[in-house]
Chain A
Amino acid sequence: MLNILLCDDDRDIVNALKIYLSAPDRCLLEAHTGREALEIAARTELHLILLDIMMPEMDGIAALAALRQTSNVPVILLTAKGEDCDKILGLDIGADDYITKPFNPAEVSARVRSQLRRYTRLGGGAPAPAPGVVRVGGIALDDAQKLVTLDGEPVSLTPTEYEILKLLLSSPGQVFSPPEIYRRVWQDAPLGNERTVAVHIRHLREKLEIDPAEPRWLKVVWGQGYKIEKEKSQ
């Protein structure tokens, strides 16, 4: 049984989330202030928290900061504040993901599934580094088996996509320019073919990211190239 805490001061939203997220193996708890969320987190073993930011008594940021003192449970911030600075603040304080209101139910479901899978299968803590397996976020690349998994689920990639991902994963945080990617994946000189790289990366992103327009890991550095986001050491 997976315990999911839905925390929002708007009961209608909590109810809607309950409908969307209800599943036989999930137990959905609800809270309406940051304080309530902390109380529930203190007495129940939680597997995931969806946390609103703007709430009475204690806001989501404060609650998250307090929670992170004791717990490593995945937290998805669910808020109307959609500005970049708000997102950066939330992720810096220790949120695992960020969803802006008004949200797409399918997207919420996908992110919840992703977080739950990671947390339950990988045990929340740092995963045991299997030899030959490169892992960033929920993406794992097993070069021995030529297998890519996203939160433990295998993802089917074309050989070119696989090579590109392998190249990017070889050095997280480093920006690879399209010509460089082309040279190293195709083993050929790029003669105006860089566009192909962009198309492949777009596909790759659609397979690996829940919201390809706002990728979490496989990022586009506009005017420079592409990179895999470096995982924050917690």
Chain B
Amino acid sequence: MKQWTRTAPGQFILWLLILLFGEIAAAAGFASLYMLTMDYYSLSEEQLSQQAISRRASSDLYELSEEILLRDSPPYSGYAEALFTGRGIDFFRIVENGQSQDTLYEYGDADALKNTSLCFSRKLDWGTVSADTLVSDLAPVYSDAESYTEPFPVQYTGPYTTTAVYESEDSFAAELLCVQVLWQLRYYAPLLAGLCALLAVIFTAVMLHAAGRRRGTEQAYPGFFTRVPYDIFTLLAFFLGLVALFPLEFAAEAATLPRSIAALGIAVLYALTVLLLWLRETAIRHRLGGVWRGSAAAWLWHFCRRCLHGAAQLPLIPLTTALAVVITLGELLGLLLFVGWNPGMLLFLWGLEKLILLPCVLYTALSCQKLRTHTHQLAQGELDKTLDASHMVGALKAHAQDLNAIAGSIDAAVSQRTRSERFKAELITNVSHDIKTPLTSIINYTDLICREKCDNPRITEYAQVLHRQGERLKKLLVDLVEASKASTGNLEVHRAPCRVDVLLDQAAGEYEQRLAQSGLTLVLQKPETGLVILADGRHLWRVFDNLMNNICKYALSGTRVYLTLAQAGTKVRVSFRNISREPLDMPAAQLLERFARGDAARTTEGSGLGLSIAQSLTELQGGKMELTVDGDLFKAVLSFPLSETQPLTPGPAAAEAEE
């Protein structure tokens, strides 16, 4: 059954059933409504019959008076009489003021009509209702008929009665029959109307459920009208539905009941058909993905959006120019249009325009501000922040997205690099651990060989070479680990206030013996007052240690070594100056490279990492190390920002910081 409703005959039959029950429901409903207004449920049949007759009579009278006014122009031609001929109605014309009929209409004078009374009487042939009763009941209706005072007063002055023969086929008889039938059906009509309406609704639901579907599948298919945009279709249906008002109007004005009923039926049939078509189409659209899709409004909306989007994609300069031109032209047009208005109104309009433009300008400014702030954050190295570009438009949005992309790629590159550097440092540390164990044995056993008494002095000599080189390897390993840690920053730095002058004294004291051994004289120059910087004492000592070590190794014997501490603005500068023993045949920058050595031959001990480590450690503590080579003069300058804080008072706290 369900599948059958989806076939064309099924749909057609359903359609017919809906129309049939709809018609019946409409007819019964109208009838019920009519009976309700006519008091069929409170009055008796006789009263209803009398009402019907009087209504008929009143209608007749109206028609008659119209005929008199419109057609019975002088000379009196008897149209009114002709109208009532054969309807069992006698028609008299009474002119109370005694004027002749001819003069009455001679001038078409409305005043003359005020004095005119019309009278007609029914020739009654009613078994149960006597003629007198009927007319006396009719009397107040006519005498009180205000509706007839316009356009001219027509007064019924009765009672004038005649006993005329009632002819069964006239309009009065039809009214009575109608009353009789309605009276019989007065309780069934509402029931019938409800039942049929219910059936029509059910069949409509069934039909709508099957609409747009085919046998054996739940998929929705477009119908015949689906190509028409939905809103246009709806409008069309609405206006087509309005056409049904014409037969309704006709039904209301139809002279006879059968015609009226026929017109009503046609109107209902037509309206129902249009409504069903519309409902069916709506159901199909709904099944195909909503009524919004494929509507003209949706299309228009998308078109506008595409236009706006396209405009936003325009290069910034043409877009801005176009906007400025449009606004200017708009203002000009407004000025020309409203030039005649009063200045207050003009001012108001001008203010209104600016009020509308203000949010747009503010919005653009806000977006620019956001971009600016975000770019500043990027410049500060805050790469983990993302700019929310969802509320921006056009070039600004593209800019924001580009900024995010840049931040993302820089962030990725930085973290990748940090990771690989850290990995490298860890690798070097781990490898050095693994190398140290066999190296221990090498150093120890070569040492043992050296100690053994041996007849062959060469063996001792060779063992000494091995031992020496083993020791060098050990130093290299330690320096390598330190250099990798220092250069990757994989090192804990506890910065604390540190007296550079004290450190300088300590360093001088530590190195006095070695300097003396190397035949060097140390000249220490420092200001009277102490200078404090923020540094990690142990790392700073390593820097000093490496530089002093270099001096001991490479300075020319018999020369002076200058250690100078000075304040330069907000910087503290420590310079180490010495005369190189060997000619420095490389630029200063090259000395800083890892494994660089003052002597190309690499004969003296040392890893060549000392300066590189010193530089990395200095930078880790926020300082800077510069090397200068001027002939044989070698100069290393450390500069640190001067700290305002005083050194911690030596005591337990400092001791713990040292731990």
Q: Which residues of A contact B (CB under 8 A)?
A: 10, 12-13, 16, 19-20, 54, 80-85, 100-103, 105, 173-178, 180, 194-202, 219-225, 227, 230
Contact = CB atoms under 8 A, between A and B. Distances in A.
Given A80-B437, A195-B524, A225-B502, 20 more contacts: A10-B440, A16-B445, A80-B432, A82-B478, A101-B436, A102-B470, A105-B444, A178-B502, A180-B650, A196-B509, A197-B505, A200-B509, A220-B506, A222-B538, A223-B499, A223-B503, A223-B506, A224-B647, A227-B655, A227-B658
B471 to A, nearest CB: 8
A198 B444 contact: no
B619 interface: no
Nearest to B475: A102
Interface of B: 429, 432-434, 436-437, 439-445, 447-448, 470, 474, 478, 481, 492, 498-500, 502-503, 505-510, 512-513, 524, 535, 537-538, 540-541, 647-648, 650-652, 654-655, 658
Contacts of A227: 655, 658
Residue picked from A12, A176, A222, most chain B C-beta under 10 Å? A222
B505 A10 contact: no
B478 to A, nearest CB: 7
Given A80-B437, A105-B444, A178-B502, A224 B510 contact: no
Contact of B513 (A81, A197, A202): A202
B599 to A, nearest CB: 25
A193 to B, nearest CB: 9
Given A82-B478, A195-B509, A201-B509, A223 B654 contact: no
Contacts of B437: 10, 13, 80, 101
Contacts of A102: 436, 439-440, 442-444, 470, 474
Contacts of A10: 437, 440-441
A80 B652 CA distance: 32
Contacts of B500: 223
A175 B502 CA distance: 13
B441 A16 contact: yes
A223 B535 contact: yes
B436 A195 contact: no
A221 B499 contact: no
B433 A224 contact: no
B654 A224 contact: yes
Contacts of A100: 436
A195 B441 contact: no
A13 B502 contact: no
Contacts of B505: 178, 194-195, 197-198
A222 B503 contact: yes
Task: List the 3 closest pairs (A to B, CB-CB), nearest first.
Answer: A198-B509, A223-B498, A222-B537
A177 B650 contact: yes
A221 B513 contact: no
Given A13-B440, A223-B540, A175 B650 contact: yes
Contacts of B652: 173-174
Contacts of B448: 16, 19
Summarize B's interface: helix, strand, loop or mixed. Answer: helix
A100 B474 CA distance: 11
A201 to B, nearest CB: 7
A19 B450 CA distance: 14
Contacts of A194: 502, 505
A175 B440 contact: no
A102 B470 CA distance: 9
Contacts of B651: 174-175
Contacts of B503: 222-223
A173 B655 CA distance: 6
A103 B510 CA distance: 23
22 contacts: A13-B441, A80-B436, A102-B436, A103-B440, A105-B444, A173-B652, A175-B655, A176-B650, A178-B502, A178-B505, A180-B650, A199-B512, A202-B510, A221-B537, A221-B654, A222-B538, A223-B506, A223-B540, A224-B498, A224-B499, A227-B655, A230-B655
A124 to B, nearest CB: 25
A219 B432 CA distance: 28
Residue picked from B506, B512, B541, B652, most chain A C-beta under 10 Å? B506
Nearest to B532: A223
B332 to A, nearest CB: 76
A198 B654 contact: no
Contacts of B429: 83
Contact of B537 (A19, A177, A224): A224
A82 B485 CA distance: 13
A78 B265 CA distance: 114
A12 B340 CA distance: 112
Nearest to A179: B502
A87 B106 CA distance: 141
A180 B499 CA distance: 14
Contacts of B655: 173-175, 221, 227, 230
Contacts of A180: 650
B159 to A, nearest CB: 132
Given A10-B441, A16-B441, A223-B500, A174 B509 contact: no
Contacts of A80: 432-434, 436-437, 440
Nearest to B656: A173
B650 A13 contact: no
A13 B438 CA distance: 9
A12 B441 CA distance: 6
Contacts of B510: 198, 202, 220
B484 to A, nearest CB: 12
A54 B509 contact: no
A85 B432 CA distance: 16
Contact of A54 (B432, B433, B445, B470): B433
A83 B490 CA distance: 12
